[in-house]
Amino acid sequence: MSKQFWTFTLLVGLLLLSTGPVNSEEEEAEALNTDEPIVEADIGKASVGSKTDDEVVQREEESIHIDGLSPSEVKNLRESSEKHVFQAEVNRMMKLIINSLYKNKEIFLRELISNASDALDKIRLMSLTDKEALGSNEELSIKVKIDKENNVLHVTDTGIGMTKAELIKNLGTIAKSGTSDFFEQMSNSSSEDSVSDLIGQFGVGFYASFLIADKVVVTSKNNNDPNQHIWESDSESFSVVEDPRGVTLGRGTTVSLYMKEEALDYLEAKTVKDLVQKYSQFMNFPIYLWGEKTISEEVPVEEGEEEEAEIKEDDAEKSEDDEAAVEEEADEEAKPKTKTVEKTVHDWELLNETKPVWQRPAKEITDAEYSEFYKSISKDSNTPLGRIHFAAEGEISFKGILFAPESVPKAMYDSGTGKKVDHMKLYVRRVFITDDMREMMPSYLSFVYGVVDSDDLPLNVSRETLQQHKLLKVIKKKLVRKALDMIKKIDSEVYMDKFWKQFGTNIKLGVIEDHSNRTRLAKLLRFQSSDHPTNQTSLESYIERMKDKQEKIYFCAGNGREEVENSPFVERLLKKGYEVLYLTEPVDEYTIQALPEFDGKRFQNVAKEGLDIDQGEVAKERKEALEKEFEPLAKWLKESALKDKIEKAVITERLTETPCALVASQYGWSGNMERIMKAQAYKSQADSSNNFYANQKKTLEINPRHPLIKTLLAKVEASEDDEQATTIAQVMFDTAVLRSGYALKDQVDFSKRIMQMLYKNLDIDPNTPIEEEPAEVEEAEEDEEEVDADDEEDEGEEEVVGETTTETPAEEAATEAPEAEQETHDEL
């Protein structure tokens, strides 16, 4: 009873709601026939208020265009389609994606091609278990077509496609990755390696299309859906409808982008080619671009044209022999006449011819393929000096291939200025991510070209940059070691003739910067040596040639080989048969300072304290005797003659022909280092550290076997107040400063002492006055006398001319005429 009551009540309520004030047909007619016009008050506010119906239809036709459908059919299609709205704060999410997520608008094409590659991978994987999955269309490709007339860019693939439900689910839900779902399904039934090629991760790449498009239309056909559907969106809402054209794709998806006005550059064929080659050139599937090209071909000449050509030929060949003419006619009859014409044809052009060789086993790749791949990524016409192809495993797995170029890249040193060097390229599943590898490769290896491809790198959602992650350090560590292994394997002759000349400075800078790989880099160093006049030597070879009981590696730094060879610091070492490394480049001494030892042998700068050649007991006793003998001279030099100039004076172990030399402390500046530091572009006078080293007193080492030192000792023992001995000591100190590579602080005082010595050797009294120049007044009087004499001579010449010149009346008239003209001209 209650159920019937509620049913009756509901029916009555519906009837009451349906009833209302209804006008009859007569009342409506009267309202239409009334004289008072009906005017909308706010019609002027509408943008279409001043538009005619024809203009509205025209604008709709311009904004609506789908291949194979007329504008009216598209309009009916939209009216009959199902309307949906995006889920979960769509407006905010879409604004974030379009305006904030991506840095570069050009990313859109990379994302679309990556999605297409995933779709192709999915159908390929399905075909492994289902042979009918590919059906009649076994082609797996991606095709890009430009429609400039309608400002549309089409990207079509023959992949798995989407059903109506998948269009709504995958494209209508932000951050919904169909690839992730497919990955999970396939992982349950197959190995992970089989699906590792899938690119999609976040489910937002498709929406990068709205960076450059006002409207996006997706047409898709899946094997599980008998019908083909169209998905359309303007980023605010979307609609899905069955395609009235039927199944035109067979299988796959077409994404049509209706470009914004500011994005019309992406409709240029060259722009599309550049983007594909930059981001997607190593895709597993071929990428084609529909374009046009001009070709030349031979076509037969028509009869009318042939007759004209024959007449012209007959006129030109009248003077030739009849026999030759007969032979030519016979040839012409045998071969039909043709002409070359240019023809414009349209065809699909393959954009990704270069294959990702790093994905293949190294044994299957030839040297020519490696070389061709290197040239494609480096734009270098030369063959690389070395290469290494590797697959790293552990905390992170990635594959890579590195090349060492033959010559210095133009942008190699841009890394030191903060500019991006794009020699290394990072890919994730063969999709280009970035070429800004400053965090992945140190600056001293900026000349290395290469590719790194990983399946599990931590990317930002935009997939444009890497996240800061501990794995980056692991990748960098492995890349550096692989690069050094590659350099080490270069042939020794090629290494010295080409690589070291081009990149030797980079290796030396690496020793300074890269402490963790210092030992590996040290094995690559090469220096000039006293062992050979031209060839450079490695540190390993030097150690092999070291003398017995030699505990240190000796080196001397200077501005060129000649300067180092003639340095006083190497005299005794060379005489005793020790080998000395010659550091002739500015960075060399920095490099050795950063390298404390090599193979257990420490380095010794022969221009600094710590050189210990004589180690026997007899040598030590002889040295002690000499120190005792020359103690008065050493004390006098320290406390009197060179009181404020030296730290101390000691007996030397390194000099044979030079009387004395200036030696720096173990942690002080050598003469070569002081020269380099003073030449720094950003050197500041207020730098306390530099001032400390520059003003540090040096040790004066004297040669007890030199006659000057012996004579000076005798003079000091006779009288410590001998002025001549003091002068000699000061001159010897100045020469020691210069010979040791340092700069004189008081050059004026040094030049005065040299002049005094010259006076003495030439028996000239230093007080002899210098002859003065004549006074300026006398010069002025002489000039006046010369002027007066010249005036008198000129007057005499005028008198002679006046006496001897006689002009006729005609000549006078001829002379006066130009003068009159000149006066008239002056008046004007």
pLDDT tens figures, 356-387: 888 888 889 999 999 999 998 888 889 999 99
> Measuring CA to CA, which residue among 499, 496, 567 is closest to residue 527?
496
Q: What is the mean pLDDT of residues 63-68?
A: 62
Most confident of 117-126, 507-516, 747-756: 507-516
Q: Distance between CA 605 and CA 610 in Å, rounded?
A: 8
Q: Which residue has the tokens 């076509």?
A: 299
Selected residue with higher pLDDT from 470 and 417? 470
- Residue 90's SS3 state is helix
> If pLDDT is split at 50, 70 and 90, which confidence band does 176 have?
low
Which residues share a beta bridge with 289?
144, 349
Calculate the CA 181 to chain-centre distance: 39
* Digit-coded pLDDT (tens) for 571-583: 999 999 999 999 9
Mean pLDDT rounded to a whole number for the chain:
78
Q: Which comes out higher in pLDDT, residue 780 or 697?
A: 697
- Which residue reads 């024809």 in tokens? 54
User: What distance in Å separates the CA atoms of residue 616 and residue 433, rounded to the nearest whole number?
Assistant: 66
Please report the pLDDT score of residue 484 as a whole number.
95
Q: What is the pLDDT of residue 242?
A: 92
Residue 703 has pLDDT above 90, yes or no: yes
Average pLDDT over residues 379-397: 89
Q: What is the dihedral of CA 417, 421, 424, 425, to 10 degrees?
A: 130
pLDDT for the residue 61 = 53
Predicted pLDDT at 51:
46
Contact 477, 557 (CB under 8 A): no
Report the alpha-carbon distance of residue 141 to residue 148 in Å, rounded.
23
As a residue count, the chain comes to 828
| Single pTM value for the model | 0.69
Residue where the block lists tokens 């395609």: 243
Q: Which residue has the tokens 């030929």?
A: 313
Instruction: Please name which of 483, 492, 493 lies closest in space to residue 521, comparing C-alpha atoms.
Output: 483
Please provide residue 695's backbone torsions phi and psi, each rounded to the nearest 5 degrees.
Answer: -95, 5
Say yes or no to pLDDT of 335 above 80: no
C-alpha–C-alpha distance, residues 485 and 483, integer Å: 5
Q: Are the C-beta atoms of 549 and 529 separated by less than 8 Å?
A: no
Nearest to 213 by CA among 147, 118, 283, 290: 147
Mean pLDDT, residues 466-494: 86
pLDDT of residue 105: 85
Residue 177 pLDDT exceeds 90: no
Amino acid sitting at position 464: E
Per the model's pLDDT, the better-predicted residue between 656 and 818 turns out to be 656
- Spatial contact of 390 and 482, defined as CB atoms under 8 Å apart: yes
Quick one: pLDDT band at residue 197, thresholds 50, 70, 90? very low
- Nearest Cα neighbor of 452 from 399, 405, 404 is 399
pLDDT of amino acid 655 = 92
Please determine, for residue 473, whether its predicted confidence score (pLDDT) is greater than 50: yes
> Are 107 and 211 a contacting pair, CB within 8 Å?
yes
